[in-house]
Amino acid sequence: MATQKTTTVSWFDRLKSSIAGIGVGIVLVIGITIGLFWNEGRAVQTQRSLDEGAGLVVSLAPDALDPAYEGQLIHVTGPITADQPVSDDQFGVTVEGVRLVRSVEMFQWIETSKTETQQNLGGSETRVTTYSYGLDWSDRHHDSSRFEDAAEHRTNPAMIYERRSFSLDSAELGAFSLGRTVLDRVGGAQPFPIAAEQIETLRDALGDDSDVRVVDGAIYLGPNPIRPQVGDYRIRYELVPLGTISVIGQQRGDGLAAYGTQAGDSLLIVEAGNRSAQEMFDSAASSNSVLTWVLRAGGIVLLIAGFSLMLGPISVVASVIPFLGSIVGMGTGLVAAVAGIALGTLTIGSAWLFYRPLTAVLIFATGAALIVAIRMLARRMKQSPVEDAAAT
């Protein structure tokens, strides 16, 4: 089932939108430049805090509190114990663990769209959008009243159940008391299938007249799991079990809290399993490096997008002749790529120049190499049409 919508945007309207995009592009470039500089400072500060912590941390047995280490950075590892379970009272699901996470899907109508654009002589643009509709499971509500083709039979009810997390408020690690600050950082979630024997508990929680079943470890609300209907639910759980964890933090009374480093960060590292202090610091340093590179790459992409918005009116003006508009658009895209990479690497390198000059040199060299590669690609693309014309 599909429906189409065709709209034509005049050259003048496209030009107005592209001019408005200049302001958005300028704000984006300025904001991302500041963000990239901040990211480098954050990376350096985090690494310095980790290096500082690695030189201070003391590994202790968790079975007794030693007042001599009050306020110091310590590392402890051991099993979590708790005197209460975690529960989802709405469905009557109770289990021993650190955290129980409920995920919810509803069977519903889903709208997808695909737009094809055609450039017209004179600069106008024809857009044909195809809207398709199908039934599927989704963990978010799709408001059918907002569908392009809101047919009467495409009606999705509101989702009355939603994703939720149920956590312990407190637990113990040997002689240490753990609060939510530590417990919320414990990972290692595992699927928690619902046993078929729990069907009576589910009916008691939801009401005896509820159409509830247990199918492949999931709670199913609906008349027929084989032929789901709009409004049926499929509910699954994940559990962070009670088990051994490792914590690096400040000893504060009988608990563990974030440790403020001289570098300016707060250290509180929690990992599942029996992990040494060095392994935990190495893992945190690796995560810091990955985050830094992800933010760098994302920032440069956004810089390119910002410069593309700023150069947008040029290609729109040239699109009065569709073929010319495509060529100019390709050229402005290359200019935006060069400008984005150049500004991004300059910003990143400048931030590192003060902290680690060698790293800054490597970043500048990488950026220069990318710019040279793009310029060489642009030259080849320009030469190809000329060579093809000569061959004919």
**Model confidence at 156: pLDDT above 50:** yes
DSSP state of 61: -
Structure tokens at 306: 């910002």
* Residue scoring higher pLDDT (56 or 208): 56
Exposure letters 134-160 (e unless 16+ CB within 10 A, then b): eeeeeeeebebeebeeeeeebebeebe
- The domains of the chain are located at 2-51+287-391
The span from the CA of 60 to the CA of 69, in Å, is: 9
Exposure letters 274-312 (e unless 16+ CB within 10 A, then b): ebebeebbeebeeebeeebeebbeebbebbbbbbbbbbb
Mean pLDDT, the chain, integer = 89
Which DSSP string do the residues of 128-179 spell out, in sequence order? EEEEEEEEEEESS---GGGSSS--TT--PPPP----EEEE-S-EEETTEEE-
Beta strands at 58-59 and 73-81: parallel, antiparallel or unpaired? parallel
Structure tokens at 187: 């990972």
Residue with tokens 């699927």: 191
The span from the CA of 374 to the CA of 382, in Å, is: 12
Report the alpha-carbon angle 26-28-30, nearest 5: 70
The span from the CA of 120 to the CA of 24, in Å, is: 26
The span from the CA of 112 to the CA of 135, in Å, is: 11
* Residue scoring higher pLDDT (253 or 208): 253
Banded model confidence at residue 330, pLDDT cuts 50, 70, 90: confident
pTM: 0.80
Exposure letters 95-122 (e unless 16+ CB within 10 A, then b): eebbbbbbebbbbbbbbeeeeeeebeee
Task: Note the pLDDT tens digit of each residue in 64-85.
Answer: 999 999 999 999 999 999 999 9
**Model confidence at 352: pLDDT above 80:** no
Mean pLDDT confidence for 341-350: 85
Nearest Cα residue to 315 out of 330, 302, 304: 330
Report the alpha-carbon angle 92-97-101, nearest 5: 60
Question: How many angstroms separate the Cα of 372 from the Cα of each of 114, 132, 362?
Answer: 36, 44, 15
Please report, as a single letter, which amino acid is at residue 328.
V
Task: Note the pLDDT tens digit of each residue in 41-52.
Answer: 899 899 999 999
**Model confidence at 241: pLDDT above 90:** yes
